Amino acid sequence: MTARAVCVILRMQRGDASRCLNSPRQPPSTTTDMATKPETTFYRSVHRYLPSSVYQMKLHNPYLGGPPDHWYSGKSSDLWIEWKFQELPKRESTELLPDLSPLQAAWLKGRYEEGRNVAVILGCPLGGVIYTGLSWGQPLTLGEYRVRILKRNQLARWIEEIVCLGSDVSHHLR
């Protein structure tokens, strides 16, 4: 039961429910919640670098699996991105692969085959790697992954180049 519901019940018992029902909702907390997933913290740290010319929408539908985390749009194009986060392993020979659900992989593959701009970004504490096309199904060794890591501002710049400047989605900043 929410705090608002408790307030209404208590005030109804006292005959004063209108104050609760007409009061504005409290704004969401701007502090980072202890339960915030690393993936969320990561994409928010990239979004700080996005210019206002990039429209972004967080997608979440508990009844429909598959669509990616975010949709981005600009004057030239749009882009669908699934964000993942992983701590880096210790062994250089360890292979890294974005942990996509079968529904996510199928959705992204379907949109890719329709000619849409889709990507998966696998983040880590150092930055992130962009997987375009169907490359998210091809593992990288830790060494290969480290070579491809882009900083957060570079990831944001890549998103901007796709949606605002019409760059090819397979173009990666180095």
In this prediction, residues 95-120 reach a mean pLDDT of: 95
Query: 57: helix, coil or strand?
Result: strand
Residues spanned by CATH 3.40.1350.10 within the chain?
A: 31-165
Q: Which residue has the higher pLDDT, 142 or 62?
A: 142
* pLDDT at residue 151 in the model: 98
| 128 membership: H or E segment, kind and range | strand 127-132
Going by pLDDT thresholds of 50, 70 and 90, the confidence category of residue 12 is low
The Cα 97–Cα 63 span in angstroms is 26
Going by pLDDT thresholds of 50, 70 and 90, the confidence category of residue 62 is confident
Q: Is the pLDDT of residue 75 over 90?
A: yes
Residues in the chain, overall count? 174
User: In the structure encoding, which two tokens stand for residue 141, read together?
Assistant: 């060794």
- The 10s digit of each residue's pLDDT in 20-52 is 444 444 444 444 455 678 999 999 999 999 999
Instruction: Check if the beta carbon of residue 59 is closer than 8 Å to that of residue 67.
Output: yes
The Cα 99–Cα 97 span in angstroms is 6
* pLDDT at residue 32 in the model: 46
* pLDDT at residue 160 in the model: 97
* pLDDT at residue 109 in the model: 96
The single-letter DSSP state of residue 99 is -
Chosen CATH of 31-165 out of 2.30.30.40, 3.30.565.10, 3.40.50.1460, 3.40.1350.10: 3.40.1350.10
Q: Is the pLDDT of residue 91 over 80?
A: yes
In this prediction, residues 69-95 reach a mean pLDDT of: 94
* Mean of all residue pLDDT scores within the chain: 84
Q: Which residue has the higher pLDDT, 16 or 66?
A: 66
- The 10s digit of each residue's pLDDT in 125-159 is 999 999 998 999 999 999 999 999 999 999 999 99
